[in-house]
């Protein structure tokens, strides 16, 4: 499994878990960050069609603020693995930490999204799902540029945050959003 969206100031973190079918390999799998948007979009339906199982979990900004980004990601990972049918025998996680309440044994693999095809597939599902959600949020919350920067703290996003203040999708527990809220309270 893998996630997308831990660093942005707005929107959800998305976690995906995938069980690949060894009889139906998918050519071109790699860490989603190393693939172009076009290549990710082309691989997404192949992963859905060829995987034995997949589960995508969206952890909203409100839960991120309540738990913190690390704990929210871990909770999303546990839910993603639990949502697989058939069940996973082992969870391979990109990174160096495992959720405590996985429903099966797990192994953390640093750089796993470039090493393990199932993690690569999960990283593609998570990234494409999150990017699509951010495009939708851009239509609901115009002016922030979510469709372009996907909620990451780019100069354009930080400028919009100062001009417009935070919207409902901003993570209040993240420092730049908290500062924008404090500035709004002064006026």
pLDDT tens-digit profile of 128-157?
Answer: 999 999 999 999 999 999 999 999 999 999
pLDDT digits (tens, 9 = 90+) for 124-135: 999 999 999 999
Confidence of residue 167 (pLDDT cuts 50, 70, 90): very high
Percent of the chain with pLDDT over 70: 99
Q: Does position 62 have pLDDT exceeding 70, yes or no?
A: yes
User: Which domains are seen in the chain, by residue range?
Assistant: 2-181 (3.30.420.10)
* Token pair recorded at residue 17: 């878990």
Residue with tokens 């100062």: 162
* pLDDT (0 to 100) of residue 187: 66
Q: pTM of the full predicted structure?
A: 0.96
Q: Is it the case that residue 11 has pLDDT exceeding 80?
A: yes
Q: What's the mean pLDDT in 146-170?
A: 97
Q: Would you call 95 helix, strand, or coil by DSSP?
A: coil
The full DSSP string for 100-157 is: TT-SS-EEEETTHHHH-HHHHHHHHHHHHHHHHHHHHHHHHSTTS-HHHHTT---HHH
């Amino acid at each position: 499994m893998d996630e997308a969206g831990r660093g942005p100031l707005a929107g959800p973190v998305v976690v995906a878990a995938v069980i690949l079918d060894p009889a139906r390999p998918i050519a071109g799998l790699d860490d989603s960050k190393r693939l172009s948007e076009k290549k990710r979009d082309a691989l997404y339906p192949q992963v859905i069609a060829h995987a034995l199982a997949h589960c995508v979990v969206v952890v909203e900004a409100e839960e991120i603020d309540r738990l913190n980004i690390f704990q929210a990601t871990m909770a999303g990972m546990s839910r993603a693995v639990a949502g697989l049918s058939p069940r996973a025998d082992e969870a391979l996680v990109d990174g160096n930490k495992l959720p405590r309440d996985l429903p099966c044994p797990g192994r953390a693999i640093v750089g796993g999204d470039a090493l393990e095809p199932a993690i690569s597939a999960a990283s593609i599902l998570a990234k494409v799902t999150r990017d699509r959600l951010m495009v939708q949020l851009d239509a609901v919350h115009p002016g922030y540029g979510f469709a372009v920067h996907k909620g990451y703290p780019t100069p354009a996003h930080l400028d919009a945050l100062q001009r417009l203040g935070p919207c409902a999708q901003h993570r209040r527990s993240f420092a730049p959003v908290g500062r924008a809220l404090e500035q709004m309270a002064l006026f």
